[in-house]
Structure 1
Amino acid sequence: MTQLSGSCLCTAISYIANGTFDDFYLCHCKHCQKDTGSAHAANLFSSNATLQWQSGEDMIRRFHLPETQHIKSFCSKCGSAMPSWQMDNQLLVIPAGSLDHVISTRPTAHIFTSSQTWWAESLDAIPRYDSLPTT
Structure 2
Amino acid sequence: MDQTYRGSCLCGNVAFQLEGSFAKFYLCHCSRCRKTSGSAHCANLFAPGAKLTWLKGEKEVSFYHLPDTRFARSFCKTCGSMMPTDVNSGQLVVVPAGCLDSEVALKPQAHICCDSRANWDDGFEDVVCFSDMPS
TM-score in same-fold range (> 0.5): yes
Please state if 1:101 is matched with 2:105.
no
The number of residue pairs the alignment matches comes to 133
Q: CA deviation at 1:108?
A: 1.2
Q: Distance in 2 between matches of 1:102 and 1:47?
A: 19
Q: Distance in 2 between matches of 1:91 and 1:104?
A: 19
CA RMSD of aligned residues (A): 0.9
The residue aligned with 2:6 is 5
Please state if 1:14 is matched with 2:15.
yes
SS of the equivalent of 1:131 reads coil
The residue aligned with 2:122 is 121
> What TM-score, normalized by structure 2, do the two folds share?
0.95
Q: CA deviation at 1:64?
A: 0.2
Q: Distance in 2 between matches of 1:84 and 1:53?
A: 11
- Structure 1 segments unaligned to the other structure (5+ residues): none
Percentage of matched positions with identical amino acids: 41
> What TM-score, normalized by structure 1, do the two folds share?
0.95
2:31 maps to a residue whose letter is K
Q: How does 1:76-115 map to 2 (within 5 A)?
A: 76-86=77-87, 88-89=88-89, 90-115=91-116
- Structure 2 segments unaligned to the other structure (5+ residues): none
1:84 maps to a residue whose letter is T
* 8 Å contact kept, 2:26–2:43: yes
* 8 Å contact kept, 2:52–2:86: no
Q: Distance in 2 between matches of 1:122 and 1:102?
A: 27
Q: CA deviation at 1:95?
A: 0.5
Deviating above 6 A after TM superposition, structure 1's stretches of 4 or more consecutive aligned residues are: none
